[in-house]
Each structure stands twice: as structure tokens, then as C-alpha cells.
Amino acid sequence: MNPPVLVPLDGTRESEAALDALGRFSIDASPVILLHVVQPGIGATASAESPGIDDERSQRRAASDYLDAVRHRMRDLLPDCTTEVAEGDPRVQILVAAKRHGCSMIAMTFPEDGIVGKVLFGSMAGRVAGATAATMLLVPRQTAETDPGAITRVLAPLDGSAASEQAIPVAVQLADRLGAELALLEAVDIEGRFPPSTGQLLPDVSERFRQGLRDQADHYLRQVAEPWLRPGRVVTWSIVEGPRPSAIVRACRPGDLVVTVAPPRLGITRWLEGSLVDILSRESPALVLLTPHDAPGPVAAFG
């Protein structure tokens, strides 16, 4: 049996979008644990069914009923599904549960103001996230509010470093499983390296410099792609211009899955804020798979 997948739910429809995302991966070989974290004094699930319940016992009962209802509703999509109610700080309890159950993945929606942001940006949780071996599947808010359909393209954003290339085996695994295109992508920040004012004064030099950067990036992508070329596997590579986070976001479209690697344990909280993952979660329609830096490679939940 594959290791379980943890899905934290806070009672909102947005958080439940992570379940729909999981359904698109056909992970029926992996058990799924639905987790709700009760915060005494704050109220139970933030839904119309259980507004403002302060009694701790009632909170836990309401949370359990909510999770049972979700499990029943998703029984066809996720047949091997259990529930768990924890108590305390969601930033800690989500990641503690993942470690306790040996989860291979944490799947969650990334709402604007919800527990996911706290999980990823809280200082204590940042340290736990940096230490966990679990992959994170992040469902941006835009995806939660629409039906993006099947995943048709798996993107691996590269920057020329060996660290960024660690995402490729996972991207290949998922592209093959989903029958999707494998797309290698590199952003070239030409204006950041060659000011526009210089280009206006020396247009010919500016154009040669720009073309040189694109040729260099194209050569790199071809080299990286070559070992992964196989009959029946669609592998593409492309170059986008501009600062890396915003350029990659512009390249994303509905039906995309972006696979990237988390940084080393130290500094993960600072890295996430303002990073590619942060910007993708707020501005992109793509799902994001964040694979741990310490344990790159195939994701157990995907077989």
C-alpha cells in the first residue's frame, strides 16, 4: 500500500477543491486522510452548518460530522478515505499529522486568508515544513473557483541550476501517468541584465545581446531535455522573457501542473514569501507540486 495523502479541510468549499485536484491524479492506490483542526474558543468549521460553536466537545463533534459528510460525498472519487480531528494551532497540527502518519503528500487549497497561508508562512510551521519529507500539492484559489478539467501539461521551471533540475524526474513521472505534455521552461530576464535605456541608444547591440541569451537558454534546455526523450512522450521546451516568477506565471494556463523543488530546510519560510510558489498560488490557474529538496524523486502517492 502506498503512504497516505493528508488533506486539511477548514470547512470551506475552497479547501475541498484539493480533493477534486487529487481525483484528477487517480491515486486510488493511496489512502487519504481528511483532517480538520479545531481551535477552542474560535469556533468549529467555518460553514453554515455549524456557525460559532464555542463548546470544545461540540466543536469536535461538528468537525467529525463535517468530515464524515465530505467523505461520503467523495466516496466514489476517493474510496480509501478516513477522517481525523485534531486540536490546536493548524500551522502545527497539519504538519505533525503528516509526520505521524508518514504521509507522502499534503494536498491543500491555497486560499487568500486561510489555514494554508498560515501553514506555509508561520515561523514554527516553516521549520516543520522544511523538515517533512512530504510533497505538497497546492491548489491556487483561481483553480478552486473553476473547473480546470484534466491536466494536459506538466511544467518544470528551470534556472540552470542542478537544484531546479531535481524537479524533472517527478515532472516526467506525472506527465507519463497523466498522458500530458512535459514542458521545460526557462525565464530569461533580459531587461534585468541589459537596461532598456542602453537598448534605445544601441539597438543593434541590445538585439545581439538578447538573442545571445535566448540561444544560450535554448542550448541548455535542449541538453536537459535530451535524456528524457522517448517514443510516445511529448517533451517541449520554451523560453519566456522577464523576471522569473512573473514570466513563468504568464506562461501558465488552465490544465497546467507546475512541479518545483523546495529549498533546503533553513530559510524555507523566507523563501516561500514572494517566491515563485507564492506568486503562482495567487496569480496562476495552475496546480503547484512542491517536492522536498532533501528527497527529490518519484512521488509515492502517484505510483
Q: How confident is the model at residue 270 (pLDDT cuts 50, 70, 90)?
A: very low
Which residues does residue 87 pair with via DSSP β-bridges, in sequence order?
38
Q: Return phi, psi of residue 261, to 5°.
A: -110, 135
Give this prediction's pTM: 0.81
3-class secondary-structure state, position 23: helix
pLDDT tens profile 212-260:
889 999 999 999 999 999 999 999 999 998 888 889 999 999 899 999 8
Residue 263 makes CB contacts below 8 A (sequence gap 6+) with 163, 271, 293
Which residues does residue 86 pair with via DSSP β-bridges, in sequence order?
37
pLDDT tens profile 193-212:
666 655 555 567 667 878 88
Q: How many angstroms separate the most distant Cα atoms in the chain?
A: 73
